[in-house]
Amino acid sequence: MKYLLSLLVAANLFAITPQDLYGCFETIEHNQQSVPHGPDYERNLSTYEDYSFSRTYKNVETNRVEPINVFNFFTGVRDDVYYSYSPIILFQDLGEYKWNDNSLSYEIDEDIYMYRSQKEMYEKVDHRLKLSIEKVGVYFEGSVELKSYARRINRSFTFKLKKVSCPTSY
């Protein structure tokens, strides 16, 4: 029994979970291209953060606020001043997270209410996302597919990240 329990604990120590992603990453590649960095180290980082305080999204069926995580991918800098990012919204309680040894995936295909500040109201939008991540040595490699017809979004990219310590301002 002890042996079986220690095997289960050891297997879970090496699995990637959503909690393992919280923090900062150096972006090594975006769409299989190396990423140009700017002079401001903090702005060169990709981040995975808890935004459960956000009131941007509500559940269509229950009308309750949906807590989110934001995976903000740094995609490069131009002319040392124009930093570019690709933020991805992951719902904490909607969609399906799957993880095992060295991989994690998240998939959602749902309608959701999204707050539109221009209109000062919630509007029903579609949110279709596939995220897959694999841990390869010290790197997190993966892909993102995001589609929303209501918001006219059709974005997909690959990435290679390396986990780093967040600066003290995070």
pLDDT digit string (tens) for 50-107?
999 999 999 999 999 999 999 999 999 988 779 999 999 999 999 999 999 899 999 9
E strand or H helix that includes residue 12: helix 2-13
pLDDT digit string (tens) for 129-141?
999 999 999 999 9
E strand or H helix that includes residue 89: strand 82-91
- Residue 33, classed as helix, strand or coil, is strand
Establish how many alpha carbons lie within 13 A of residue 41's alpha carbon, considering only the half-sphere containing its beta carbon. 8
> What token pair was written down for 65?
């606020």
pTM of this structure: 0.85
pLDDT band for position 2 (cuts 50, 70, 90): very low
Kindly state the DSSP code that residue 15 receives in the 8-state scheme: S
State the pLDDT at residue 170.
58
- Residue 78, classed as helix, strand or coil, is strand
| Percent of the chain scoring above 90 in pLDDT | 76
Q: Phi-psi region for residue 28, left (φ > 0), alpha (ψ -120 to 50) or beta?
A: alpha
